[in-house]
A and B are shown apart, each in its own frame.
Chain A
Amino acid sequence: MSDPRLPAAYLMPGSSSFSDFLAVQAPDLLPSRRAVPSGNAGDLAPHGTTIVAATFPGGVVMAGDRRATMGNIIAQRDIEKVFPADEYSVVGIAGTAGLAVEMVRLFQTELEHYEKIEGTTLSMDGKANRLAALIRANLGMAMQGLSVVPLFAGYDLNTDQGRIFSYDVTGGRYEETSFHSVGSGSLFARGSLKKVYREDLSAEGCVTAVLQALYDAADDDSATGGPDLTRRIFPVVHVITADGGYRVADAEVADIADRMLAARMQRPDGPAAALI
């Protein structure tokens, strides 16, 4: 910013994509443009783990545990891995924490930039595709162990329903029905949700279901953190409805988690589903 006058490129009509503008003006700021020496760098940085999302009539819920690991070490106990992307969508990230957080910031700016320049928000599919493009650009880093795998959810104002998208490291974008999970504990979380999830859950019921799933993931996966009762650290939960998104207050999450834990005192494996 040494020249006080706005650079000519800023005044040029053109793309309403912030990442495209960044790629031309300041490519060093793009998370995926870094040259990493060959070899596996995956053990150098903390990894975030399990993210769970589920829909309910009138909205969608996403929750993430609070643990980041580096090999066998717990790198952080209260990391946040679920972020609002804009007013009607939320993104949760599993994988290399540093890159993931930067990618979320880029994605948030991307959506806001488009909204301000065009005067209208991107469609739900448009947002999901933009995120896919960012992930795809990161493929080189992913092959060196620095992968980022997001889970994207939001309320689609055109179809009036909550929607969930999952991704792979190559930028593949897959729409999921009802619920999905990513990260190291995702297998257990998904298995748990299969038994607990019902399509007619209320918003609070849906929050309870994803908390149950995160508990089950933490039960069997060492990299997923369970509720930390002594420090009162509970998962980050976001709810999105037609009125927009909000983070569920910590006290509210703590309340649901306490009730869930009280029930697990009687039955450690959680609620039982009917046999048939």
Chain B
Amino acid sequence: MSTPFYVSPEQLMKDRADFARKGIARGRSVVAIQYADGILFVSENPSQALHKVSEIYDRIAFAAVGRYNEFENLRIAGVRLADMRGYAYDRRDVTGRGLANAYAQTLGTIFSSGGEKPYEVEIFVAEVGDTPADDQLYRLTYDGQVADEHGFAVMGGAADTVATHLKEHYVEGSTLEDALHVAVAALGHTDAGDRVIPVDDLEVAILDRTRTQPRKFVRLRETRLVEILGDRGPEQPDVPQGDDTAGATPPSAPVTDDPGDPTDQVSGGVPPLENPMSGEPTEHHVPPPTAPPTAPPTAPPTDPPVAPPPAPQPPIPDPSQPPAPGTPPGDPGNPLP
């Protein structure tokens, strides 16, 4: 008789949320700030070709953090949706709200469907209006939640640290120059100290309502950035870890070897219990220990001689019994937002 494997829906969703959040936190932050003449996007992005901030339509821009292939898919879908709507109706009928809704529905459906991996992305959809009061800034999370942001917003990387710095220094209705200074300083701010981000590592774009052309999206190139930012002291490029374009860095492995742990990546002096290629037990390197070194000394000697040490079994939640006191079902360190 086998017990059916049960995972509570809460736990399932939490696992998926944790998975997505971890992917998002690996990258670097993107900041969106409203200034007097529009909306400014700043990100630290050493790649000149793979953009995190892009144009969707006349007054609408898109910024994303997380997995590049996933948000690139969403970006292209947004461009197609906007162009299709603008062509079928009129350019004025393409709105940021409609686009944010389509993204929210898409992300939400993918997140809650069991068959698909949740998208590890977080998105800004911004639309610049005729006046600062008409500007809209939507923030969409991996699970399809939409938040209407005002003033400034940060996502990805150490978003909390950057947001705290911005909260202290953000001034409403500032000029582009001031807003850019604040945003770049916030991105370089960490708890350990402040860093001057090199100009060629910055990706900066604006939605500028004062532009006469219908398309309000402009990228600020390096020469313009140098002009605005001026001399900020010696530049310090970011340490290469956490580069989201290069994929995830492996989590730090435990330094001690535990033959009972199948996810253990350190072999130490103990041979693996099985050949990782063939899956067969290894026997010709070292004879299997009759008494494994990690085996409890109280193991009865009548056990089968080649039995591996008992692996620590994760507690399977039993739906019929309340969880033991002191062991909350979720990870309290990562509450849902």
Contact = CB atoms under 8 A, between A and B. Distances in A.
Interface of A: 1, 4-6, 10-11, 13, 18, 21-22, 25-26, 29, 87, 105-106, 109, 112-113, 116-117, 119
A11 B86 CA distance: 18
B77 A4 contact: no
Nearest to B58: A112
Nearest to B86: A109
B279 to A, nearest CB: 36
Interface in B58-83: 73-74, 76-77, 79-81, 83
Given A11-B73, A29-B88, A4 B101 contact: yes
Interface in B74-101: 74, 76-77, 79-81, 83-88, 101
Contact of B51 (A4, A87, A119): A119
B55 to A, nearest CB: 5
Nearest to A16: B76
Contacts of A113: 79-80, 83
Nearest to B88: A29
Given A25-B84, A29-B87, A109-B87, A6 B79 contact: no
Given A25-B84, A26-B84, A106-B87, A5 B79 contact: no
Contacts of B101: 4
Interface of B: 49, 51, 54-56, 73-74, 76-77, 79-81, 83-88, 101-103, 105-106, 109, 213, 215
Given A10-B77, A10-B80, A22-B84, A5 B56 contact: no
Given A4-B101, A10-B81, A105-B87, A116 B54 contact: yes
Contacts of B102: 4-6
Contact of B79 (A1, A29, A106, A117): A117
A109 B56 CA distance: 12
Given A11-B74, A116-B54, A116-B79, A5 B109 contact: yes
Main secondary structure of the interface of A (DSSP, over half): helix
A106 B88 CA distance: 10
Given A18-B83, A113-B79, A5 B73 contact: no
Contact of B81 (A6, A13, A29, A117): A6
In this complex, the member of B51, B84, B85, B106 whose beta carbon has the largest number of chain A beta carbons within 10 angstroms is B84
A78 to B, nearest CB: 21
Given A11-B74, A116-B56, A21 B80 contact: yes
A4 B105 contact: yes
Contact of B106 (A5, A21, A26): A5
A18 B86 CA distance: 12
Contact of A22 (B79, B87, B213, B215): B87
A26 B73 contact: no
A109 B80 contact: no
Nearest to A28: B88
Given A22-B84, A109-B83, A13 B105 contact: no
A122 to B, nearest CB: 15
B62 to A, nearest CB: 10
A52 to B, nearest CB: 25
Nearest to A9: B80
Contacts of A109: 83, 86-87
A25 B55 CA distance: 22
B94 to A, nearest CB: 11
Closest 6 CB pairs of A and B: A4-B105, A10-B77, A5-B105, A6-B106, A11-B77, A116-B79
Among A4, A25, A26, A116, max chain B CB count under 10 A is at: A116
Contacts of B88: 26, 29
The CB with the most chain A CB atoms within 10 A, among B83, B103, B213, is that of B83
The residue in A87, A106, A109 that gathers the most chain B C-beta atoms within 10 A of its C-beta is A109
Contacts of B87: 18, 22, 29, 105-106, 109
A10 B103 CA distance: 12
Contacts of B81: 6, 10
5 contacts: A6-B103, A6-B106, A10-B76, A109-B83, A119-B51
Most chain A beta carbons < 10 A, residue from B77, B80, B215:
B80
Contacts of B77: 6, 10-11
A240 to B, nearest CB: 14
Given A22-B84, A26-B88, A13 B106 contact: no
A102 B172 CA distance: 43
B247 to A, nearest CB: 19
Given A29-B87, A116-B55, A6 B76 contact: no
Nearest to A113: B83
Contacts of A87: 213
